[in-house]
Amino acid sequence: MTNLNILELDENMDELENEKNNKNIVINNYKENIGNIFQYIIEMIKGKNKLRKLQLKINIYCIKRFVDIINNTCLLIKILNEIYVILNKDNIENWNNKGNGYKVIFLWLLFLYITSFFTFYFRKIFIMNIVPNNYDNLFSLYKVFQTIKNIDSNNISVLEFFEKFQKTYFIINKFFEDIPQFFLCLLFFILNGKDCFLIFTMICPFLFFSFGLLNHGLGLGGLVRSSLWASFHSIDDIFIKYDAAPPNMFFFLYSSIVFLGGSIMTIVVKNIVTSLWMPYIYLQFSVLLLMSGISLLLFLYFYYFEEESFYLNPYYCL
Same domain, 86 and 199: yes
Q: What is the pLDDT of residue 253?
A: 95
Would you say residue 91 has pLDDT above 60? Answer: no
Same domain membership, residue 262 and residue 147: yes
pLDDT for 48 beyond 80: no
At 127 the three-state DSSP class reads strand
Residues 234 and 109 in one domain: yes
- Which residues touch 217 (CB under 8 Å, ≥6 apart)? 242
Q: What is the pLDDT of residues 297-317, one digit of tens each?
A: 999 998 888 655 544 455 556
Same domain, yes or no, for 23 and 79?
Answer: no
Instruction: Count how many Cα atoms sit within 13 Å of the Cα of residue 295 in the half-sphere of its side chain.
Output: 18
Q: What pLDDT digit, counting tens, does each position of 61-80 carry?
A: 888 888 888 888 888 888 88
Same domain (yes/no): 2, 104:
no
Per-residue pLDDT band at 228 (split at 50, 70, 90): very low
CB 252 within 8 Å of CB 302: yes
pTM of the model: 0.77
Question: Do 87 and 155 belong together in one domain?
Answer: yes
Which pLDDT does position 218 carry in this prediction?
A: 43
Dihedral of CA 293/296/302/308: which sign? positive
pLDDT for 225 beyond 80? no
Residue 26 or 259, more confident: 259
> Is the same domain home to 32 and 171?
no
Under DSSP, is residue 317 helix (H, G, I), strand (E, B) or coil? Answer: coil
Query: If pLDDT is split at 50, 70 and 90, which confidence band does 213 have?
Result: low
Q: What is the pLDDT of residues 240-295, one digit of tens each?
A: 777 888 888 899 999 999 999 999 999 988 888 777 788 888 999 999 999 999 99
**203 and 298 both lie in a single domain:** yes
240 and 259 fall within a common domain: yes
Q: Can you give the pLDDT at residue 195? A: 57
Same domain (yes/no): 29, 110: no
What is the pLDDT, as a whole number, of residue 90?
Answer: 54
Domain count, the chain: 2
CA quadruple 287, 289, 248, 119: dihedral, nearest 10: 90
Residue with the larger pLDDT of the pair 46 and 171: 171
Counting residues of the chain whose pLDDT is more than 70, the rounded percentage is 68
Q: State whether 73 and 209 are in the same domain.
A: yes
Give how far Cα 63 sits from Cα of 60, 193, 198, 222, Å. Answer: 5, 30, 20, 27
| Amino acid, res. 209 | F
Q: Are residues 27 and 64 in the same domain?
A: no
**Residue 42 lies in domain:** 1-46
Q: What is the mean pLDDT of the chain?
A: 77
